[in-house]
Structure formats: C-alpha cells, structure tokens
Structure 1
C-alpha cells in the first residue's frame, strides 16, 4: 500500500491545519501510512512538533489580489504535488486550494484518488473564486464534511453528496498550567482582577467579532466591574484588514479601550495558546458561520466554560445550559446577557465544565481516524476516478 497524503495549503495554526495534524497523528497510531503535505516556509516547518512525516512546499510570493494569491497557490501546489504523487494512492485535501491542486494532478494522469473535507464554504464574491470553490467541491472523488449541517448545505446548494466524519479533540493537547503561569499571563494584559473572556480566531466577520464588541460594550456601560475580552489568532489567507480596522475604530464610541477592555494577542505559540485557554474564565465564541467550531471542543478540553452562538452546527453537540450557553446568533443584547450570567454564576460555570467533559468523550481522534480509514479503503477499492 502506498502512503496516504493529507494536503493543506497553509501551515498556519488555524482550524484546518490543527484538524489535519491531529488526524494524521491518529491515523499513524492506527497503523495507516500517512504523510502531511503543506505550503509554507520549509525552514520553519509546521506550527508544532509531530511524529508524522511531513513535507512543507514553498508557498508562492505574496502580493496581488485574493484571486491572484489563490490561483498562484493552486498552480504552485499542483506542480510540486505532481512530483510527489507517485508516493501516494489517496490525496486527502483539507481546503479549496489543495482540492483544486490535487484534482489537477489526478487529471494529469497520476494514479491517485482525491478526497476533500469541506470544513466550511467561504463567502467569496469574485466570480472566479466562487466558481473555483464550486469546482473544489465538484471535482474530488469523495467529499467529507464534519457535520450534518454541512452535509445538507452541500446537497441542497451544491448538488454534492457528502459523508459525515465528525471532528475529534485531543483532551491532552493543553495540559494544566501552574498558578504562577496563569498569574503571569493575566498580569500581562491587566486581567489580574477582571473576569476574562477568551476569543479564538482573530477579528473576522465569520467569527462575529463585532457582536462580541457590542455585547462587551453593554456590560461595560452597566456593570461597575465589567469583564474584558482577549482574542487569540487572526493569521488568515484572506485579508480582513478592512473589517478589523472598521470595528476596532468603533471601540471608543462603544466605550471600550483597545488594550484595556479588548486585547489582541495575535497568533501565539502552541504553549501560549494552551496557557490562555487555561488562564481565561470563559470562552466567548459568537461565530456567524462554522463548519464545526473546533475551538469549542478545545475550550472544553481545557475546562473552560463556553458561550457560543446558537448555530445549527453547534446544536449537533452542544445543549444550552448543559455544556454551553447558546444565545441567538448575531444578537449582541442576548450575548451580553449570557456573558453576564457566565460572569456572575460560579455554579453555572462548574455545571458547564462538567457537561463539557462528558461531551469530549464522544469526539475522540481515534474514532475519527477509524471512520476516515473506512472511507479511504472504500475509495481505494473503487478504481473509477472520474475526469473533472
């Protein structure tokens, strides 16, 4: 049996890459020959150490429009992947760019099958990118999704049947940290005596960051000792500078101060990410769109109680007041009420932590790996690779 390749377009520690690396390690533990292929800086490698063999291919130079960057990445990844394809029988791609590149390699004559996991669908407006994204769903031999919600979306909006293979979580990824480390991190942002909400994913439209800002402003205007919000992450292939600048500029009119009430931590190391999960008081995750919301399970694994928007995908594994508070999505007043209740009710936080631990047991990477292997075996048994 040739190796399986898990292919991504970026080494940045966002959800897709975190998923890819954790899945690769679980597949390796299950005896599956696996290799991770990604684009980035070959000298820097991946965002954390791993026992899985990997290859980081050079990313194309930056610059140009988003369309320019997407198509340059597809071209470069397809060329480099073509040179490696003889080693693999399945190319399991994790994003639009990787899927288009892998399909091009297959259609160029390589004896490989292409599997694609659709974590979510981006809201592109440029016609070329809209069509590129549709092709990245249409061209693979098999399409996977991580939730029933996205299976329905692909069926109804793209005419593509998909197989649901849920995400997993590594409960040991973020081990407990010392009280001294907690105190150090909180002091670094002035949160020694303030309730600290953690946001994950940067300041982005899809993450509903403006809703979090508006909710925090309501609390700041009415509470004598209001909470604060620290946001980690933000490294993205897409440029959200306009959204970020617009909503950061609104902070003063909302009565919030950047650096005091809202702190942007940026992309942090794996160790520091675990430290922040373990040092905050609750997760604030008011996303407007998610494929799954891996940060929610990561928070639960770090014993961090969760406030998350009432998205259909979250309802597949979250239950309001059992393992999360779930105010209506996009409603800043409702989010503020949930944040205030989380702040004020210590017993509620304990109950949500308990519910979170129960939830984790249903989402192991070992179980996810077994379901993936069944898909790979099925794909390998089917030698009919349709031409796109």
Structure 2
C-alpha cells in the first residue's frame, strides 16, 4: 500500500505527535508498505529517507503550548506537488483542524483520507470560530481516529462527527530491553519534558522537592529536556539544587535507559494532554508512575490501578505520594508488574494493526464506489456487460 502521512508540526522540534508519526511510519515500512511523510523542517535538519520537507515552520501559540507550523501559498504548492508525486492509496493527516500542512492537504487531496485528532481542549473558542472554514476540508475525510476518549470528545463537541479511538503506540520491547545506567539508580525520581513549558509541570515538582528531601534525604531528581535550567531551580536553596541533575536533551536510547533506571517517574503535567505517551513509555521500561490526576492520564493508568495519581498542581500531595512510594518497595514492585502487563495494549503490534484496518476500510470503500461509478457510466452509454 502507498501511504502518505502529513505531520503538522516541525520535524526538528521533538514532540508527541512527531514521535507518533515517526514510529508509525517505521512500523508500516517494516511491514512492507511504501510510506512518505510530509513535515515542516528547517533546511539543515537531517531527515530520514521517508520524510519530505515542506519548508521551514514558524512558532504559533496552540493548545497551551507553542507549535511550529507551516502554512501559506508556498506550502500549499509543496503539498500539491507531494500529493501528485506520491499517488497514494491512502492519505493519513494528523491534526487537520490546526492551521498547518494537514489542513492544506485536506483541501488539495482527492481519494481516501484518514485523519487523526490528538488535541484535547474542551474550551477551544478558536476551533469553534474556525469551523465554517474547516468544514469543507473536514467533509472530505473518510475516517477519523482520536488518540483518546478526550481527544474524541473535543472533536465531537467542536467539529461534529465521531471517531474511533486508537491510542498512541509505543515499541514496548525497546523500552523493556534498555540497560539501566548505574549513576541514574538509587533513590531517583525522573522527569522528561520541556523545562520551560508550564503545562509539563516541572515547577510543581520543584516545589515538592524540599519536602521530599526533608523526609528522604539523598533523593535525586533527574530532569531530561531543553530549557533554562537555572531558572527552573531558582526557588530552591543550594542544598536542594545539588540534588537536581539536568541531563539536557537525551537520545531515544538514553531516554529508555533513564526510565529503566529511576525508582519513580513523575508526570506533574497541569493540563492540555489528550493521551500521555510518556506514561506508557515509563511503564514499558518498568518505571512506577506518579502522575497528576488529569482525565487523560487517569485513562492511560487504568483509572489509577497502574500508577499513582495526585491532584493537579498540588506540590504537597506530590511530595507525600513520592515519599510514600519510595518508602514502599513492595508497592513499587507491584506497580512495575501491573504497568508491564497494562502497556501491551499500546504496543505497535496492536496499534499498527488497528490503524491498518482503518486504511483498508477506506480504500476498500473507495474501490467499491469507483466500481459502482464505472458500472453506472457503462450503463449510461450503453456499454453495460451481461
């Protein structure tokens, strides 16, 4: 099958949607499908052979963060050329409601279109206001996927229609087989995310650290991600600062090793999450998860059975839960076991199969419509066969 995938966000800035598309493309290619991904990218960005650059992106505030998007006349021309050259059996667009390549592709494409909606934003006035502009493009979509029930709810409430829920995928064995790193072990709490993006919640974790250290001296916080490291620890005294280790941006391999090494993985996010792929990655690596009680996180953690939850932005509750976990080896072992079993439903072997089933449904439907149209034309011109 020839599959075209449209990535809305800049390929050179890591994010959950980009990782999802990268891993989906790799999974499909490994199964023997021909895949091309169109994505914004700076000129000097090294790209995998299956990624086609649509040109440089610009930063745009979107869903409580800053997304790097690509939109305009030049981008539209590149989209049309890519569609023409690709002659895809199915086009898979991610976030078609954002002002990005996905929307341009929706306008320009013909043939079967599958769209995946990642955003969870129940109060998006912008999406409601933009609906008249989006409607003609969205009506061309053959099938809709939402990565969670909360992303599906956003779609239904703002744009109408419905979607099948297929979660983000993870290569479970990649994380499970990673080698722990000795210097990252022993009374450690891990955090991975953009340091200076408030909704990732690092300030809440930093506020909780003094109480954690008071009750468990020697606990270390390992932080992986880009941002202003000095500003992140401004509120801590010198002793507490010495217990925070910033690792900067880490490779996929080191991310897996970090998650395999820590005693607890903390996800103190404050909102705007439709899924929580990092929770699945942590559980795949065997890291017990301590997460803020967001609807999407609660769903990923099986209602709290596969991880610990604490009230959003409550640093005292976070500290109490972290100490309680670190003091309870049996609870940590139980969470590792429950998490390892729970994540199998998110493995690409399952998620990829479900996405391919959607592709096959829309391509079969398109072939059936085309056959009916040919039969109608033959009958109209007296060429009907016996």
TM-score normalised per structure 2: 0.78
Asked if 1:251 corresponds to 2:238, the answer is no
- Structure 1's unaligned 5+ residue stretches are 187-191, 236-240
Alignment of 1:1-388 (within 5 A): 2-11=2-11, 12-41=13-42, 43-46=44-47, 53-60=50-57, 66=61, 73-75=70-72, 76-86=74-84, 87=86, 88-95=88-95, 100-108=100-108, 110-121=109-120, 139-140=137-138, 141=141, 142-174=143-175, 176=177, 181-183=181-183, 186=184, 195-203=187-195, 204-220=197-213, 222-223=214-215, 225-234=217-226, 248=232, 250-252=234-236, 255=237, 260-289=242-271, 290-319=273-302, 322-381=305-364
Distance 1:111 1:198 in 2: 46
User: SS at the partner of 1:215?
Assistant: helix
Q: Aligned pair in 2 of structure 1 residues 323, 80: CA closer, same or farther (>3 Å)?
A: same
Q: Partners of 1:132 and 1:206 in 2: how far apart?
A: 25
Larger Rg: 2
Helix, strand or coil: the match of 1:268?
coil
Residues 130 and 316 from structure 1, CA distance in 2 versus in 1: closer, same or farther, beyond 3 angstroms? same
**CA distance 1:31–1:307, shift in 2 (3 Å):** same
Q: What is the CA–CA distance in structure 1 between the aligned matches of 2:123 and 2:240, rounded to whole Å?
A: 30
Contact 1:102–1:114 (CA<8 Å) still a contact in 2? no
1:360-381 CA distances to partner (integer Å, 9 max, x unpaired)?
2222212212221222233335
Unpaired runs of 5+ residues, structure 2, are: 370-386
| Structure 1 contact 144–162 (Cα < 8 Å) conserved | yes
Cα drift, residue 218 of structure 1:
2.5
Shift of 1:54: 2.7
Query: Would you say the 8 A contact 1:182–1:278 is kept in 2?
Result: no
Per-residue CA deviations over 1:25-83 (Å, capped at 9, x if unaligned) read 2223444432222222455434xx7xx733234324x58x759x979712254332221
Give the secondary structure class of the aligned counterpart of 2:167. Answer: coil
Give the secondary-structure state (helix, strand or coil) at the position aligned to 1:375.
helix
Separation (CA, whole Å) in 1 of partners of 2:163 and 2:33: 23
Alpha-carbon distance, 1:302 to partner: 1.2
Aligned length: 355
CA contact (8 A) 1:93 1:99 kept: no
Kindly tell me: are residues 312 and 137 of structure 1, through their superposed partners in 2, closer, same or farther at Cα, counting changes over 3 Å? farther
Counterpart Cα distance in 2 of 1:129 and 1:182: 47
d(CA) in 2 for partners of 1:336, 1:261: 15
Q: Deviations over 1:115-149 (max 9, x none)?
A: 33222246999x87885699669843143211112
Q: Quote the Cα distance in structure 1 between the aligned partners of 2:249 and 2:364.
A: 41
Deviation track 1:166-217 (CA, whole Å, cap 9, x = no partner) reads 22221222354556x433xx3xxxxx7x621111222222222222122223
User: What RMSD in Å do the two structures reach over aligned CA positions?
Assistant: 3.5
Instruction: Specify whether residues 137 and 106 from structure 1 end up closer, same or farther in structure 2 by C-alpha distance, changes over 3 A only.
Output: closer
| Distance in 1 (alpha carbons) for counterparts of 2:222 and 2:163 | 36
Distance 1:79 1:251, change over 3 A: farther
| Cα pair 1:228 1:261 within 8 Å, conserved | yes
Report deviation, 1:250: 4.7
